[in-house]
């Protein structure tokens, strides 16, 4: 997946140059805000590259479940950098609102900004497809950020064009403040999603329903289940459950059933690691370990 991060880095470097040229030609604080967000894109894409390389490492003795959660650090940092960029944009916009200036060479500046937006749109589409294919939150965050940049640029182009037509120079910093607010919203969403991922959030409703469908087919055969737990770790998923079977089954029979259930769940939740624990249906102790921490009854005296 690192090749997609390199593509994002190249796109960010190109759009920074184009947008800074557009700002230098026009003097538009809106275009400057657009360029600053592209600098954030470059830093975020570099972090994404690093974290994707880390997440691809095989499990080790100290990290037996792998390094896939490293992707959440990339998306979390991206969200934080977006908030910093929003503050910088707001600062520049307020100063320009208090001290309005006339824009120069608007046509050329808008052309350059549109060219940068086209680059971001193309790269965002490529990253989004890759994110869906590889189930990568880091690539998904980068893709959505680039699409936000595209819509931001559209707002800036509209503002600069409106200033050129109406002559109301304060419209430029007003739109820049709107852009900053939109960036803040995106940043908070990325930080929230990254935090939830690090807190072992369960799989989404659609995946849980697919797992439940697998289990329901087995219930029709007289098998029961409990203690189903799921969690997402960026591109990987983990599922654990207890399988309750008749106590007179052989170990081999129960083992074969558990293996079959694990395979079926892995098919409906690609990239998942499934863990099962077999218990006898008739034993009351089998129903005392539903909670994460099993509570043992005190031993009887005598």
Of 176, 198, 220, the one marking the end of a domain is: 198
Residues 35 and 168 in one domain: yes
Residues 88 and 215 in one domain: no
Is 91 part of a structural domain of the chain? yes
Is 63 part of a structural domain of the chain? yes
Residues 30 and 167 in one domain: yes
Helices (H), ranges, the chain:
2-26, 29-55, 70-98, 106-134, 137-166, 171-198, 205-219, 251-268
Residues 92 and 180 in one domain: yes
Residues 74 and 194 in one domain: yes
pTM tops 0.75: no
Residues 113 and 239 in one domain: no
Q: What is the CATH number of the domain that holds 72?
A: 1.20.1510.10
Of 198, 233, 264, the one marking the end of a domain is: 198
Is 84 part of a structural domain of the chain? yes
Q: What is the pLDDT along the chain (302 residues), one digit of tens a residue?
A: 677 778 888 888 888 887 777 777 767 666 676 677 677 777 778 877 887 887 778 877 788 777 777 778 877 877 787 777 777 777 766 766 776 666 555 566 667 777 877 888 888 888 888 887 777 777 777 777 777 777 767 766 676 667 667 767 676 677 777 777 777 877 787 788 788 777 778 888 899 999 999 999 999 888 999 989 998 876 678 999 999 999 999 999 999 999 999 999 999 998 788 999 999 998 888 887 776 665 555 544 54
Question: CA separation (Å) from 246 to 8, 243, 279?
Answer: 55, 10, 8
For the chain, how many structural domains are there in total? 2
Residues 231 and 282 in one domain: yes
Residues 113 and 236 in one domain: no
Q: CA-based Rg of the chain, rounded to a whole angstrom?
A: 26
Residues 125 and 27 in one domain: yes
Determine the 3-state secondary structure of 93 from DSSP. Answer: helix
Range of the domain at 210: 205-287
Of 152, 171, 198, the one marking the end of a domain is: 198
């Amino acid at each position: 997946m690192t090749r997609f991060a390199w593509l994002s880095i190249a796109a960010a470097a190109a759009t920074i140059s184009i947008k800074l040229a557009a700002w230098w030609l026009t003097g538009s604080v809106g275009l400057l805000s657009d360029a600053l967000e592209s600098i954030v894109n470059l830093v975020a894409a570099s972090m994404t590259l690093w974290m994707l390389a880390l997440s691809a490492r095989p499990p080790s003795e100290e990290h037996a479940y792998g390094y896939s959660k490293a992707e959440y650090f990339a998306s979390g940092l991206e969200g934080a950098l977006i908030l910093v960029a929003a503050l910088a944009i707001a600062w520049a916009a307020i100063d320009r609102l208090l001290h309005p200036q006339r824009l120069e060479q608007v046509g050329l500046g808008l052309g350059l900004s549109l060219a940068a937006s086209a680059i971001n749109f193309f790269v965002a589409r490529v990253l989004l497809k890759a994110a869906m294919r590889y189930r990568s939150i880091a690539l998904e965050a980068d893709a959505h950020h680039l699409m936000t940049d595209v819509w931001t640029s559209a707002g800036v182009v509209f503002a600069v064009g409106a200033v050129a037509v109406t002559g109301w120079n304060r419209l430029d910093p007003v739109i820049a403040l709107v852009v900053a607010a939109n960036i803040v919203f995106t940043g908070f969403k990325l930080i929230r999603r990254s935090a939830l991922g690090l807190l072992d959030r369960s799989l989404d409703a659609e995946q849980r329903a697919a797992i439940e469908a697998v289990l329901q087919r087995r219930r029709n055969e007289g098998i029961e289940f409990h203690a189903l737990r799921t969690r997402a770790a960026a591109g990987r998923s983990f599922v654990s459950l207890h399988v309750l079977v008749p106590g007179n089954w052989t170990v081999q029979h129960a083992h074969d059933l558990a293996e079959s259930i694990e395979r079926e769940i892995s098919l409906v939740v690609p990239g998942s690691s499934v863990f099962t624990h077999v218990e006898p249906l008739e034993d009351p102790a089998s129903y005392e370990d539903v909670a994460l921490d099993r509570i043992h009854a005190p031993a009887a005296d005598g």
